[in-house]
Amino acid sequence: MTTEPTWLSTDQPNLIQHSGNGRYYARYALAGRRHLKALKTSKLAVAKQKLRETLFGVEKARAAGVATIGDPAGVRMGALAAEFLSNSKSDTNLSEATKLSHIVYVRRLEKTWPGFDGLRPAAITVKATRDWVHRVHSFAEHCPPGAKTKRHGYSASSINHTLGVLAELLKMAVSRGALLVAPLSLEVVRELRRKVVPRVPELPARADMAAVFDEMGKCPTRLPEQYQSIKKVLDDQAADGAEFARFMAYTGARLAEAAEQVWEDVGTEIIVIRGTKTDGSLRRDVPLIPQLKDLLASMRARRGGVCVGKLFAIRECDKNLTRACKAIGVKRLKHHDLRHYFATACIESGIDIPTVSRWLGHVDGGVVCMKVYGHLRQEHSIAAAARVVA
């Protein structure tokens, strides 16, 4: 009894093999029709090369104005997005923050691209994507988390991250035979990306920074005498916020790093910053500067010498920091600005860039450190200018 020959799939999209003669064929869609082209070889390496040449010719035909359906299996962008989020959720190599950001970017596509869920992958052309980028960057109305009013236009960083997710969805479409090639290649994505202008915070002078920390440690609410038990809780919360902010400013730790810091990593002269799952957040040893030593000593005293587990019971201090900046009269600072403050203070104190870079957990020898953290506060700039001899 003989078996009927069948088509065998391969690990290469658009490439199939005939089980009877062992030869390979290119399968693609063009002008609304599905095509099957014999590559006239049974060697996989040769077939892959011929497939690339065939697809290149198909793309030239498409670029010349030939329409394409590119959707033999009825694949839609909504289904691809759902599968992408499912894969992201189950990926143990991704941090929770990354998984959450993937949800945000997919929801942004669904919100800002009309009928996105029902679109065929072939509808996501370079021109359509360019139009979407322009519209979203200039006109899209949204309300960022924590904002009280709506804004027009998403930031360049938000658009660039969303573009990356869109490119991944189109790669999935290629793997499922819905597209011949992904239209958003690396080169195209780079061309469509919006230029991100780094935010350079206006860091306060040392005296003002110390005043901000002191203000953070004060209870913002005045309560009558009969509510002293509640006031004690509020005082402790304020003290926690002030200690959290000081720690970030005296170590250069990122928000996620500071929130996960444990007492077991605090030595007499060195503190170990464990880092997170991201490539830019590496484990490193940071020396205890005098201010950090004083902070740790006061934290031990406030806790009655019981120092095990995590350093902090809180994971952020944004509202406390914002309130204190407003009370002191300095521009609002964010969590990451405290990292800027540490890096800038180190540079102004004469620490060389490579050393500061290692303390921050960078792996580039100081390139990013020089670009991002090389700005100086006004007081240091004036003092430096006084030493210049022209």
Nearest in space to 282 (alpha carbons), one of 221, 360, 194, 384: 360
pLDDT at 121 over 50: yes
Tell me if 299 sits within 8 A of 309, measured CB to CB.
Answer: no
Domains of the chain: 7-63 (no CATH), 77-192 (1.10.150), 206-385 (1.10.443.10)
Any idea which of 83-92, 137-146, 357-366 has the lowest mean pLDDT?
137-146
pLDDT 10s digits, 213-256: 999 998 877 766 666 677 778 888 999 999 999 999 999 999 98
Determine the pLDDT at residue 71: 47
Write down the mean pLDDT value for the chain. 83
In this predicted structure, what is the pLDDT of residue 65? 45
What span, in angstroms and rounded, lies between the C-alpha atoms of 390 and 375?
23
Res. 333 pLDDT band, cuts 50 70 90: very high
Q: How does DSSP classify residue 14?
A: T
- Give the pairing type, strands 33-38 and 141-142: unpaired
Mean pLDDT, rounded, for 12-41: 84
Other CB atoms within a 10 A radius of the CB of residue 14 amount to 21
pLDDT value of residue 145: 58
Alpha helices (H) in 64-205, listed in sequence order: 77-90, 96-112, 126-138, 156-175, 186-192
**What pLDDT score does 377 carry?**
56
pTM for this entry: 0.59
| Angle between helical axes of 206-216 and 228-251 (0-180°, round to 10) | 150
